[in-house]
């Protein structure tokens, strides 16, 4: 299997980690996280989203696989 941003993000979620757009850019060089999440959902993986507040007060989407969330 070819290593793609989608596959890397999918594996990240399967491992129980959460991800934001900043995380995706930093870890995988992905500028379009929402598009990759849509592709992952279209393949049948459950992905949920919560809005989290950053240290500067803005809100960003944080995606996660609800069946694999690490505590």
Residue 45 scores a pLDDT above 60: yes
Q: What is the pLDDT of residues 10-42, one digit of tens each?
A: 999 999 999 999 999 999 999 999 999 999 999
pLDDT of 3: 80
pLDDT of 71: 53
Q: Is the residue at 57 inside a domain?
A: yes
Q: Is the residue at 71 inside a domain?
A: no
Q: Is the residue at 29 inside a domain?
A: yes
Residue 61 scores a pLDDT above 60: yes
Q: Is the residue at 41 inside a domain?
A: yes
Q: Which domain holds residue 15?
A: 5-64
Q: Is the residue at 12 inside a domain?
A: yes
Q: How many domains does the chain have?
A: 1
| Model pTM above 0.85 | yes
Three-state SS string over the chain comes to: CCCCHHHHHHHHHHCCCCEEHHHHHHHHCCCCHHHHHHHHHHCCCCCEEEEEECCCCCEEEEEECCCCCCC
């Amino acid at each position: 299997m070819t290593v793609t941003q989608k596959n890397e993000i999918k594996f990240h979620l399967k491992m129980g980690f959460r991800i934001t757009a900043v995380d995706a850019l930093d870890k995988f060089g992905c500028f379009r996280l929402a598009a990759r999440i849509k592709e992952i959902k279209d393949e049948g993986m459950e992905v949920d989203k919560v809005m989290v507040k950053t240290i500067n007060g803005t809100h960003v989407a944080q995606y996660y696989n609800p069946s694999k969330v690490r505590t």
